[in-house]
Amino acid sequence: MLFALAVAALVLVPVVVTFSSFAQVERDILSHLIEFALPELVGNTLWLVLGVGLGVSVLGVSLAWLTAMCEFPGRRVFGWALLLPLALPAYVTAFVAIGLLDFTGPLQTWLRDGWGITGLPEIRSRGGVILVMSLALYPYVYLIAKNAFATQGAIALEAAQSLGLSRTQGFFRVALPMARPWIAAGLMLALMETLADFGTMAIFNYDTFTTAIYKAWYSLFSLAAAAQLASILILFVLVAVVFEQRSRTQMRYSTVGRSAAQRRIKLSPALAGLALLYAGTVLAVAFIIPVTQLILWTRDVMADDLDARYWAFAWHSVLLAGIGALMVVAVALLLAYAGRQRPGTAMMWTQRLATLGYAFPGAVLAVGLFIPVAALDNWLIDAGQAWFGFEGTEILKGTLLIMLLAYLVRFLAVGFGPIDSGLHRITRNVDEAAKNLGTGAAGLLARVHLPMLRASLLTAATFAFVDIMKEMPITLMTRPFGWDTLAVRVFEMTSEGEWERAALPALAIVIAGIIPIILLTWREARSLD
């Protein structure tokens, strides 16, 4: 219980720190913020949330319905392939889109030179950001809505038809409302990612809170301003969290009757063709074209860029992701065990709080954890000077501590989910059976729990590893000198507009990102057996 409380406290630290920043106001910076920056930031953020929310809902729900409930050529392949965009961090889709569609990009050049067509809508715009974010984040809605439709869609539809509704009416009046909690939960996850996104916004030069925090940090050198901005962003995020948690409690699986498998709607050839075209276009635009472009660019620059420096970036990424994933798995395992030892409402809330970090944007965590660690550092330095004659300016600040703590807070939920559900599958009777057969506590762990949890631990580690590899703002803002990673390299190259040279590190991240999707589909396929 103490341990669980400590982890939960770690999550609260950034919240408390950022809000307490209002205690020491730097008057001129704050008034500048309120007067010039805030209206634009809030407006931009609201537009973004609205647009992306609409985009991911439409894309996610329609694709989920098609692949779960309708029969058309290629349905099985699309079922998992439509998840692939999850492997592309939004910032990768973003720079590829700009590289392709910009005024100087190949498409516009071709249209202009070959056909004399100009005046294509500018990609570096609000619409462009929304489009890119929607394409990158729709899988959150798609995955969870597909699950809902597959488990209860067919029954809902048949019930509706037996009451005299047409299929279309049945979809809008029964199936869709029934799946609402699932769709809402997926939507909120997508919106949290939208609010947390830094890389895409930086590439598009679209000012939101995350980019503003970064600028306050690096350009204004004002920690207080960064923290104040972070606290406002937290307010946005909390709204999403409340909605998400509420939807989750409303999710009730009822798997009555047969699965939808035998009862899919057979589409007429014309409709099937349209479905194929639609799903194919989304997949092409969201995954195939960007990845192809990445590969082409990579081929161009490989000879020059695949050098020792590149391998250093890759090594840093793998090392950090590895250490981070181990930390996440260890803490998640202890937290899950705490819940097993002492079940109860208090423990449940502590666990929920402790795993809430996934909702906090990386930029917020970077600020919220840097400030207290820096304070602790100053105190240590003072103490060291006074007692041991210590000469130096930083002890903890120069280490990986802040970065790893931030990773832990942000990605603990990713590891906790599979481990906790794995542990729940080991019933108390299994423990007691082992004890009846003469096994003590150590034997129970070594001979029963760890072997049974192996798959869950592996899943948790993989997910955490890949998420840390993709992570940009925390790494960018809190890395010690010399710890550049692949994601940092992508940021640096894209901020100079060198799309081709960002492709090589981006491709490595994408390849790593495909692993958990394979795991996810594989597990889903097995659970349907």
Partner 1 sequence: MAELILDSVSQSYAERQIIADLTFTLPEGAIGCLLGPSGCGKTTALRCISGFEPIQSGEIRIGGEVVSRPGWMLAAEKRRVGMVFQDYALFPHLTVAKNVGFGLRNISKEVRQARIDELLQLVGLAAHTGQYPHQLSGGQQQRVALARALAPRPRLILMDEPFSNLDVELRERLSLEVRDILKREATTALIVTHDQHEAFSLADWVGVMHQGRIQQWDTPYNLYHEPANRFVADFVGQGALVTGEVINDHQVEIELGVLDGHIPVECDASGCDECVRNCRVDVLLRPDDIIHDDDSLLLAEVENKAFRGAEFLYTLKLPSGQRALSLVPSHHNHAIGERIGIRLAVDHVVAFRRE
Chain residues binding partner 1 by CB under 8 A are: 427, 429-430, 432-440, 447-448, 451-452, 454
Residue 437: helix, strand or coil by DSSP? coil
CB of 428 to partner 1, least distance (A): 9
Question: CA-CA distance, 197 to 471, in Å (whole number)?
Answer: 10
Phi and psi (nearest 5°) for 266? -85, 120
Q: What is the DSSP string of 457-511?
A: HHHHHHHHHHHHHH--HHHHHHPPTT---HHHHHHHHHHTT-HHHHHHHHHHHHH
The residue among 303 and 437 lying less far from partner 1, judged by its C-beta, is: 437
Q: CA separation (Å) from 504 to 101, 234, 456, 486, 493? A: 20, 34, 32, 9, 11
The residue among 66 and 460 lying less far from partner 1, judged by its C-beta, is: 460
User: Half-sphere exposure of 101 toward its Cβ, with a 13 Å CA cutoff?
Assistant: 21
CB of 344 to partner 1, least distance (A): 14
Owner of token pair 């007692």: 387
Q: Which of these, 394, 446, 451, lies nearest to 422 by C-alpha position? A: 451
CB of 438 to partner 1, least distance (A): 5
The residue among 246 and 447 lying less far from partner 1, judged by its C-beta, is: 447
Core vs surface per residue 80-93: b (16+ CB within 10 A) or e:
bbbbbbbbbbbbbb
Could you say which DSSP state residue 343 is in?
-
CB of 437 to partner 1, least distance (A): 3
The residue among 158 and 431 lying less far from partner 1, judged by its C-beta, is: 431
Which amino acid makes up residue 249?
Answer: T
The residue among 318 and 423 lying less far from partner 1, judged by its C-beta, is: 423
CB of 346 to partner 1, least distance (A): 17
Two tokens at 67?
């692949």
CB of 449 to partner 1, least distance (A): 10
CB of 448 to partner 1, least distance (A): 6
The residue among 392 and 451 lying less far from partner 1, judged by its C-beta, is: 451
CB of 414 to partner 1, least distance (A): 24
| H or E stretch at 138 | helix 126-162
CB of 420 to partner 1, least distance (A): 18
The residue among 76 and 526 lying less far from partner 1, judged by its C-beta, is: 526
CB of 432 to partner 1, least distance (A): 6
Question: CA-CA distance, 94 to 409, in Å (whole number)?
Answer: 26
The residue among 207 and 431 lying less far from partner 1, judged by its C-beta, is: 431
Q: Where in 227-365 does DSSP place strands (E)?
A: 265-266
The residue among 277 and 441 lying less far from partner 1, judged by its C-beta, is: 441
Phi and psi (nearest 5°) for 70? -115, 155
Q: Which of these, 99, 98, 204, lies nearest to 500 by C-alpha position? A: 99
Question: CA-CA distance, 82 to 521, in Å (whole number)?
Answer: 11
Strand partners, 266: 71
Cβ(157)–Cβ(167) below 8 Å:
yes
The residue among 256 and 437 lying less far from partner 1, judged by its C-beta, is: 437
